[in-house]
Structure 1
Amino acid sequence: MTSKNSEMSGSSPFKMRLVHLDLKGAPPKVCYLSEIFPLFRALGANGVLIEYEDMFPYEGHLRLLRAKHAYSPSEIKEILHLATLNELEVIPLVQTFGHMEVYYLGEGETSRQWLQQEPNTKAELCLSHMEAVASHVRARYPTTTPLMWDDMLRDIPEDQLSGSRVPQLVEPVLWDYGADLDLHGKVLLVEKYRKSGFSWLWAASAFKGATGVNQSLTPIEHHLRNHLQWLQVAGSVPADTLRGIILTGWQRYDHFSVLCELLPVGIPSLAVCLQVLLHGDFAENVKARVENFLGISSLEEMSFRSEGAGSFPGSNILALVTQVSLHLCSSVDALLERDRYVTGWFSPYHRRRKLIHPVMIEHIQPQALSLLARWSALAGELEAALQRVFYPDTVEEWLEENVHPSLRRLQALLQDLGEAARPRQDSGQDS
């Protein structure tokens, strides 16, 4: 038997394996982080990339950036302590020029005037800002190495990159979350960055939050393929070119978009991805290890009932979210749009005029009541499960987006039924 530590550092081409926590949506309570950090470590992670966003307890003139439920300074200390206990290196992700307002580069008045002078280009403008930000960080914190998403570097020619100081100041993170990477293109990009003077590069994959802006369940197969292909990239470039890989887990596409898959929902995908990076493939024995870590009998046949969805922290949330995502809307649609009694005897025409044959109420009302009772009970269970892990605004947002619209449709049907069943007070004429 190899020791856990020797196995951890063994065969993976990615020496650093960081799990990304995107806190700009559904930030977990610290008590939940205390439960999942040991799991991250056991699965093969050795670092966390924490995108604090508005959850950081900013002071002074930045205090207005704090979210309502921002972590307190003591909670931040607790998070860092939990990371240390679990041998997870913490890299904070702070929004700077690398990813904030970058797509509108050159549209400001001063920039526009500068760009009108030959031979100035957008690439030069971009590099000069990167230099300014990165040199400031390195001057203030000499032991800190800035990492930078590589979107803005990809199209800048090699000679321009090598002519700037940027390769000496930052380490680029080559991100691609697709299930079909352009392997050859990635290898060429790595070569370009190396020739430009970057000593170290990083990869970034995704274990959730990259397949749909309002995705509620994580498609594990997509993320498995993404990681297998990143392993191919690592195997096709010189050894030790890539310092590590960041497994991103986006929680919103941006601050103004809806929530995508909640962190507990993405844990099985994260487990698969980390174990694949550690062992190099997804053979039967690796799959069995994942199932064992998660406390489930089969990844393909997760029953998704509360009692059969595993023993990992937040597995009850995955079970309930799965029920809602797969069955809530479809069961309400089945009643309202395909049930013969509703479509035939209580159509929108009848509902607007509050007309129904009394016998038909007996065919429709019990079904609607039973469906509403079943889903209301499940919604209550889910709300309680979410409250243990998340703050009230997250619970409210997720339920309002994913549960309440269907419940309201059922309630409206029952209200219309009730009104149609009452004796009419007028002379029987339609008004």
Structure 2
Amino acid sequence: MFARRNLRRNLMIGICLPIILLSLFVIHQNRDIVFTEQLSHQQHSHFLQNIDNVHPSRSKRYTSQSQPLDIHTDKQLQNGNTMANLMAYQAPIVDFYNNQRHLQEYNPIQPIRHPVIDAKNLERFVHLDLKGAAPKIDYFTDLFPFLRQLGATGLLIEYEDMFPYSDYLSIIRHGLAYSKNDIQQILELARINNLKVMPLLQVYGHLEYVLKLKEFMHLREDRRYPQVITPCLEESYKLIFEMIDQMLSLHPSIPYLHMGCDEVYYRLVHPQCVNLHFRDEADLFIRHVTRVAKYIKSKHPNIKLFIWHDMLSQIVNSGYNNITELVELVVPMVWTYVDDVKTWFDDRFWMGFSMFHEVWVASSFKGSSGEITTMSYIGHHQRNQQTWLEAMYTASFRHRVNFTGIAVTGWSRYDHMLSLCELLPSSIPSLTYALQTIVYGHINNTQNVTISRSLLGCDRTPLWEKSADINFISCSFPGHEMYEMMYQYDGLTHIYDETMSFVRLYVTDIHLRQNYIHYKRSQECLQRLYSLEDQMIYFIDSFQRICLKFFTPDIGPEWLQTYFMRKLKEVQNRVNFIERTLKTQTSWLQRPLPNNTAPIAIKRRNFTISSLL
């Protein structure tokens, strides 16, 4: 009897266990479908429940989902197949190091969770920010046909000091600015490739490239800051109108002009403002923009004028009588560069902007991941573009906002005074994915392969996110040499971090100060430092050679001084110290070491914040 019960039990286990295991395997294999649908429903419900709590305006360049900033406060700036395929300029040691690594696998293509706006009739403009690392005309010859192939319909060109201003405005001009003939070549290249042109000329804020000069410093709204021109002096309009006249004279047939007007943080500060009867800062902003817009319209009645949205967002629902006139004069361009745009603007925001006849939006393909950034990783920028299409669908469906265009921005500096961020040629993969997202509405796995292999001509998928595992890549798009160089920079930076982490264990600041070292460990450090120094010098030579292909001679040294020379200096200081000490140190002093027994005393500075302003 006992044996029979054991037999029945074993038989049941033998039948049921395979069934259970098979069921679990099926669930595991289909987990993406099961859980994605449930997650999508939960996220959509959460979005609908919380949309009213979202603040309508955010500070410009930030990309993290932080708390919103009040626009009245001071600006807070935003966040290979084989070795034989590698370019000849690559350092052999770097090649060997990275050839042993495997690129981390990413799965950037996510299921479609939200409907997107139909973008087939939208204008698709690419922003060229020329206030940092403005390319040579030869590069535009290769780039413009490629942009048209990607689906671009126009160019938003921000010249700043690279424009060839003349007469008394010639002092504004960059020492290596474009010539008038260069501007004509750019416009002709755009025409040949069926790309419309929209110059961007700031007429209120972000005029530091003009107001930094002593000849125009008296026109600052706040004497301490050269960002904003004062509308309270008639001389300001003389300057602005002359800049407009010169811009229009070299662009006689343009259908669009962007007047900027973003981040105007200093208003009603100039002493002369007390003599003018403005209701408040908003009234001042409306009057100034309206006056400039009317002047441009008097020259070109059919031109379409644009301004950034951020200053408008506070006054569209404010009840100002003169806002109606401004609504008829300008088209707002709504920008944000965050990962998820859908929760960035609430219903009240879109209701306010529905009063405009049309609205454009601005995403980004570079220059929105931090002031000091070298590589435009695709993931962030593609998510920004994807969620912009989703947010536009919602706003057009709920509030009948008439979207007519998208500008994909690529900032070269966060400000005229700040450092270079990502370079244009090395950011083309990010731009490619952004434009293709607009064209197709989303990117699936098939399109991902087509973009990376066929359009970009890469031997592997470009990096979507920053990775600790760097492998080299070979591509053929316009600017691929600089993109490949940025891969080298990432790989070399990783070697630098590893090497210096080891060296700092045994050659610290106290060793440098006291000339007191561990002889054997210092020899080991020196061996590693020699190898690193050799690779870094090789990179400097290669980088500057590649830079000269795309940019004027000042860009290579500026980029290296921003991102590289401090690292090389640290390496060379350690090398020099170890070499010298290994030759001279034959005996060591007793502890405590000299000048190392007295307490360290640091004198506090005698200042107040007000004394600095």
Structure 1: give runs of 5+ residues left out of the alignment: 1-9
Match of 2:489 among 302, 314, 324: 324
Conserved in 1, the CA contact under 8 Å of 2:350 and 2:401? Answer: no
Instruction: Provide closer, same or farther for how the CA distance between residues 381 and 161 of structure 1 changes in structure 2, counting only shifts above 3 A.
Output: farther
1:194 and 2:354 correspond: yes
Other-structure match for 1:131: 290
1:53-102 deviation per Cα after TM superposition (whole angstroms, max 9, x unaligned): 01111111110111011011111111111111111111100111365522
Q: Is the 8 A contact 1:304 1:318 kept in 2?
A: no
Aligned mate of 1:235, from 390, 393, 417:
393
Match of 1:372 in 2: 533
Q: Which residue of 2 aligns with 1:414?
A: 575
Secondary structure at 1:91 match in 2: strand
* Amino acid of the structure 1 residue aligned with 2:555: T
Q: Name the stretch that deviates more: 401-410 or 421-430.
A: 421-430
1:171/1:201 contact within 8 Å kept: yes
Match of 1:61 among 160, 163, 168: 168
Tell me if structure 1 keeps the 8 A contact 2:340–2:387: yes
Superposed displacement of residue 234, structure 1: 2.5
Correspondence for 1:214: 372
Q: Any idea what SS the aligned residue of 2:174 has? A: coil
1:294-336 Cα shifts (integer Å, max 9, x gaps): 1113325699766x331112222122223323542x4334333
Q: SS of the counterpart of 1:18?
A: strand
SS at match of 1:422: helix
**Separation of aligned partners in 1, 2:533 and 2:451:** 37
Q: CA deviation at 1:223?
A: 1.2
Q: Is the 8 A contact 1:209 1:261 kept in 2?
A: yes
- The alignment status of 1:42 with 2:149, answered yes or no, reads yes
Structure 2 stretches lacking a partner, 5+ long = 1-116, 208-227, 229-263, 595-613
> In the aligned structure 1, how far is the partner of 2:323 from the partner of 2:455?
49
Q: TM-score, normalised by structure 1?
A: 0.88
Look up the equivalent residue of 1:191 and give its one-letter code: M
Match of 2:341 among 181, 186, 205: 181
Is the contact made by 2:360 and 2:405 (CA closer than 8 Å) also made in structure 1?
yes
Say if 1:387 and 1:395, in contact at 8 Å, map to a contact too: yes
Distance 1:157 1:95 in 2: 21
Cα distance in 2 between the residues matched to 1:45 and 1:327: 35
Find the residue that maps to 1:172 and give its secondary structure.
strand
1:51 aligned onto 2:158: yes
Q: Distance in 1 between matches of 2:526 and 2:205?
A: 57
Of 91-100 and 43-52, the range deviating more from structure 2: 91-100
Report the alpha carbon displacement of residue 366 of structure 1 after superposing the two structures with TM: 2.3
Tell me how far apart the structure 2 counterparts of residues 301 and 135 of structure 1 sit (CA, whole Å).
Answer: 47
Q: 2:271 aligns with which of 106, 109, 112?
A: 109
Q: Note the C-alpha offset of 1:113.
A: 5.1
1:265 corresponds to which of 413, 426, 445: 426
CA distance in 1, matches of 2:379, 2:344: 22
Say if 1:208 and 1:223, in contact at 8 Å, map to a contact too.
yes
**Contact 2:378 / 2:463 at 8 angstroms: preserved in 1?**
no
* Partner residue of 1:343 out of 502, 505, 508: 505
The Cα shift of 1:164 comes to 3.5
Separation in 2, partners of 1:405, 1:72? 35
Partner of 2:300: 141
Partner of 1:309: 474
**Is 1:167 the counterpart of 2:331 in the alignment?**
no
Asked if 1 retains the 8 angstrom alpha-carbon contact of 2:502 and 2:525, the reply is: no
Q: Report the CA distance shift for 1:98/1:371 in structure 2 as closer, same or farther (over 3 A).
A: closer
Pairwise CA distance, 1:145: 1.4
Q: Is the 8 A contact 2:158 2:201 kept in 1?
A: yes
Give 1:397's aligned residue. 558
Deviations along 1:115-158, one digit per CA (max 9) or x if unpaired, are 6x7xx122111111111000000011112111111111101043
Measured in 2, the distance between the counterparts of 1:63 and 1:19 equals 28
Q: Which whole-Å CA distance do the structure 1 matches of 2:321 and 2:121 have between them?
A: 25
Q: Residues of 2 paired with 1:358 and 1:157: CA distance?
A: 71
Report the Cα distance in structure 2 between the residues aligned to 1:51 and 1:419, rounded to whole angstroms.
51
Q: How far apart, in 1, do the equivalents of 2:530 and 2:121 lie?
A: 54
The equivalent of 1:334 in structure 2 is 498
* Cα offset, 1:349, TM superposition: 2.4
Q: CA deviation at 1:214?
A: 0.8
Q: Distance in 2 between matches of 1:403 and 1:248?
A: 26
Report sequence identity in percent.
31
CA distance in 2, matches of 1:298, 1:334: 26
Equivalent position of 2:180 in the other structure: 73
Q: What's the counterpart of residue 5 of structure 1?
A: none
User: Residue type matched to 1:200 in 2?
Assistant: E
Q: Pick closer, same or farther for the CA change 1:351–1:281 going to 2, 3 Å.
A: same
Distance in 2 of aligned mates of 1:40 and 1:367:
44
Asked if the contact 1:296–1:310 (Cα under 8 Å) also holds between the matched residues in 2, the reply is yes
